[in-house]
Amino acid sequence: MNNGYLEEIMNQAVDGVRRGLESHDPKMEPEEIGRILSVAQGVVQAKGMRSVGAEELLMLGPDVPGMALDIMPDSVGIALLGSGEGLSAGDEVVRTGRVLDVPVGKGVLGRVITPLGKPLDGNGLIASEKRLAVEREAPLILHRAPVDTPLQTGIKVIDTLIPIGRGQRELIVGDRQTGKTAIALDTICNQKGADVICIYCAIGQRSSSVARAIEELKRRGAMDYTVVVVVEGGDPAGLQYIAPYAATSIGEYFMHQGKDVLVVYDDLTRHAQAYRQLSLLLRRPPGREAFPGDIFYIHSRLLERSTRLKPEQGGGTLTALPIIETEAQNISAYIPTNLISITDGQIYLNPDLFQKGTLPAVDVGVSVSRVGGRAQLPAYAKVAGDLRLTYSQFQELEAFARFGTRMDEDTRAKLDHGLRVREILKQKRFSPLTAGQQAAVLLAVTKGLFGPVDLSRILEAEEHLLGHLAESRGDLDSLARADRDDPMWDGLVDEIRTILETME
């Protein structure tokens, strides 16, 4: 290669650089950089960012994310979303110019992530289609449609007496260790094959508890359609605060695609406690039980995002199952009463029933569904129309019977029937029944066909009955949609009576 050729290449390169420099028009853009004034446990006070927006994502010190929560004339209160151990007064705070958001899309299905979208399952980065703001406005009332489609939990006592509709907000409330999470996980597992996307949001739970829940979901094939959003008890309060909003944004993406979505918040007690901690550290005025004045609003604006959209808006649904923990069965405490007033009903788990082995420990007298009855399948009106009333009467009679009073034959018959209803409503974990199977069993108990069966063998008789009906009638799906006046019911009663008579 001769020197002339090299010189020609060099000249062309110099000309290219010169043209690039001449065409470049640098623009100076101002950037606001604040300084940390003080650091507390989970919050930071900073100054120097007069144009910062509410809920804007900020980067503090080396690389700690934070969210602008309090915007005051001379300072900004920031909720830390990461460890603040390396932060100190004087460190820089850099604005990102965007509100806090989370990755959404099909890429999050089957993943375990933080509220910021970071993977926790070791399966690589999240392949998100887009990002949505964590805090979003609830759908307009004019864009909402009535709840008219059931969300089957597979649990007899809930689907029969406290039904849940798609787009409803049903609170699960009870003392600790009474089976609240078990009901939520059972419901998620029962959505397999139902084309429902599930989101399990664990807020402030122990790592071991979350790991067991994820393992159960994997074992039953539920992770294929489930997203798990995890923030542990040792994580910053700011991260616990944004967790349910992030989970809801993930669900809203699918809802606006016309999908049916189920979101479980486990639990909002710890969410309220995290927000109280942030508010007190930011020196907001405390109210009842030291909670800030807007504690009702943070939950109402979260749960108002759950709804059923009209067909012209996509027709998707977002069903919420918030969980709340009570102390000593006190459902009239501050946070439980707030959430009961916001939601469309509650499933109350009684620790006394739990200790007696009545599982799930649902207290039918206190539990209610204000919407789901309109969405119930037709069969339930036939097989369980009066079941709630008769069961409540049985509970009152049982309370009087404890005094040892003399009872007539009619009262004894009602007590005997009520005991069989209670036994038939018991159900093991992760043993869901289809709507058709529930219809057959409930028809048997309401017609008194389990009367000759010994009380200790009721669940055995149930398995015997379902096994024979599966052989003779298949999957029983036709029962679930049969009208209450269908003559088929009379033939089914005779068939069930014959099956139970053949039981050894």
Asked if residues 105 and 129 have their Cβ atoms less than 8 Å apart, the reply is yes
Which pLDDT belongs to residue 147? Answer: 95
CB atoms within 10 A of CB 426: 16
Which pLDDT belongs to residue 128? Answer: 84
At residue 405 the predicted structure's pLDDT band, cuts being 50, 70 and 90, is low
- Mean pLDDT, to the nearest integer, of 282-307? 95
Instruction: In whole angstroms, give the CA distance from residue 188 to residue 152.
Output: 10
Place of tokens 């290669």: 1
Asked if residues 345 and 319 have their Cβ atoms less than 8 Å apart, the reply is no
CB atoms within 10 A of CB 93: 26
For 333-365, write each residue's pLDDT tens digit. 999 999 999 999 999 999 999 999 999 999 998
Which pLDDT belongs to residue 339? Answer: 97
Q: Does the pLDDT value for residue 484 go beyond 90?
A: no
CB atoms within 10 A of CB 333: 15
At residue 324 the predicted structure's pLDDT band, cuts being 50, 70 and 90, is very high
Instruction: In whole angstroms, give the CA distance from residue 234 to residue 202.
Output: 13
Task: Write the CA distances from 504 to 376, 452, 500, integer angstroms.
Answer: 35, 12, 9
List the end-to-end C-alpha distance of the chain, in Å, as a whole number.
Answer: 101
Extents of the domains making up the chain: 33-99, 102-375, 381-501
Asked if residues 336 and 183 have their Cβ atoms less than 8 Å apart, the reply is no
Sign of CA dihedral 9, 12, 17, 18: positive
Asked if residues 335 and 267 have their Cβ atoms less than 8 Å apart, the reply is no
Residue 261: closest CA among 305, 304, 318, 201? 318
Q: Does the pLDDT value for residue 328 go beyond 60?
A: yes
Which pLDDT belongs to residue 22? Answer: 72
263 contact partners, CB below 8 Å, separation of at least 6:
198, 199, 201, 247, 248, 251, 306, 318, 319, 320, 321
Higher per-residue confidence, 479 vs 498: 498
DSSP conformational letter for 325: E
- Mean pLDDT, to the nearest integer, of 5-12? 73
Which pLDDT belongs to residue 245? Answer: 97
Domain 102-375 is classified in which CATH homologous superfamily? P-loop containing nucleotide triphosphate hydrolases (3.40.50.300)
Which pLDDT belongs to residue 155? Answer: 96
- Mean pLDDT, to the nearest integer, of 300-313? 96
53 φ/ψ sector (left φ>0, alpha ψ -120 to 50, else beta): beta
Q: What percent of the chain has pLDDT over 70?
A: 97
Higher per-residue confidence, 395 vs 314: 314
Instruction: In whole angstroms, give the CA distance from residue 378 to residue 148.
Output: 12
Q: Which CATH number fits domain 33-99: 2.40.30.20, 3.40.50.2300, 3.40.190.10, 3.90.1150.10?
A: 2.40.30.20
Q: Does the pLDDT value for residue 149 go beyond 90?
A: yes
Q: Does the pLDDT value for residue 412 go beyond 90?
A: no
What DSSP string describes 395-422?
Answer: HHHHHHHTTT----HHHHHHHHHHHHHH
Asked if residues 217 and 223 have their Cβ atoms less than 8 Å apart, the reply is yes
Q: Does the pLDDT value for residue 315 go beyond 80?
A: yes
Q: Is CATH 1.20.150.20 the classification given to domain 381-501?
A: yes
Which pLDDT belongs to residue 482? Answer: 82
Which pLDDT belongs to residue 487? Answer: 80
pTM over 0.75: yes
Which pLDDT belongs to residue 355? Answer: 93
The most distant pair of C-alpha atoms in the chain lies apart, rounded to whole Å, by 121
For 80-105, write each residue's pLDDT tens digit. 999 888 899 999 999 998 999 999 99
For 208-238, write each residue's pLDDT tens digit. 999 999 999 999 999 999 999 999 988 999 9
Which pLDDT belongs to residue 286? Answer: 94
Instruction: In whole angstroms, give the CA distance from residue 488 to residue 379.
Output: 11
For 182-209, write each residue's pLDDT tens digit. 999 999 999 999 999 999 999 999 999 9
For 357-380, write each residue's pLDDT tens digit. 999 999 998 999 999 888 898 888
Q: Does the pLDDT value for residue 1 go beyond 60?
A: no
Across the strands, what pairs with 426?
none
Which pLDDT belongs to residue 504? Answer: 66
- Mean pLDDT, to the nearest integer, of 303-315? 96
Which pLDDT belongs to residue 378? Answer: 86
Which pLDDT belongs to residue 389? Answer: 83
Known catalytic membership, residue 35: no
**Which alpha helices (DSSP H) does 319-360 contain, by range?**
334-342, 351-355
Asked if residues 189 and 222 have their Cβ atoms less than 8 Å apart, the reply is yes
**What are the structure tokens assigned to 180, written together?**
């609240």
**Which amino acid would we find at residue 469?**
L
* Catalytic residue from among 370, 374, 473, 497: 370
Query: Any idea which of 143-152, 251-260, 398-407 has the lowest mean pLDDT?
Result: 398-407
Mean pLDDT of the chain: 91
DSSP conformational letter for 383: H
For 11-41, write each residue's pLDDT tens digit. 777 777 777 777 766 666 677 889 999 999 9
109 contact partners, CB below 8 Å, separation of at least 6:
197, 224, 225, 226, 227
**Which amino acid would we find at residue 429?**
R
Three-class SS of 287-322: CHHHCECCHHHHHHHHHCCCCEECHHHCCCEEEEEE
